[in-house]
Amino acid sequence: MKRKKNLYEDIYKLENIFNAFNEICKNTKNKRKVRNYKEYKCIYITRVYNT
């Protein structure tokens, strides 16, 4: 197994958070949850980024 350094900076980039959010919306089967996620997209992304 290879070791990589400084992955934390890559994890909290907004681009990666947006990509993960879009993937969650694709893989969620409950349409009501997807609509709720998309309605409050900015709030969820800022919470993840600040955490």
Q: What is the pLDDT of residues 19-39, one digit of tens each?
A: 888 898 888 888 898 888 889
pTM summary value: 0.64
| Distance, CA of 33 to CA of 26 (rounded, Å) | 11
| Distance, CA of 38 to CA of 25 (rounded, Å) | 8
What residues make up the domain containing 23?
Answer: 13-50
18 falls within a domain: yes
As a whole number of angstroms, the longest Cα–Cα distance in the chain is 41
Which tokens hold the place of 19?
Answer: 């990509």
Please give the span between the terminal C-alpha atoms of the chain, in angstroms, as a whole number.
29
pLDDT of amino acid 46 = 86
pLDDT of amino acid 42 = 85
The average pLDDT across 33-48 equals 86
4 falls within a domain: no
User: How many structural domains are present in the chain?
Assistant: 1
17-20 contacts, C-beta under 8 A, 24 or more apart: 17/45, 17/48, 17/49, 18/45
Average pLDDT of every residue of the chain: 84
pLDDT of amino acid 1 = 66
Looking at per-residue pLDDT, the higher value among 35 and 8 belongs to 35
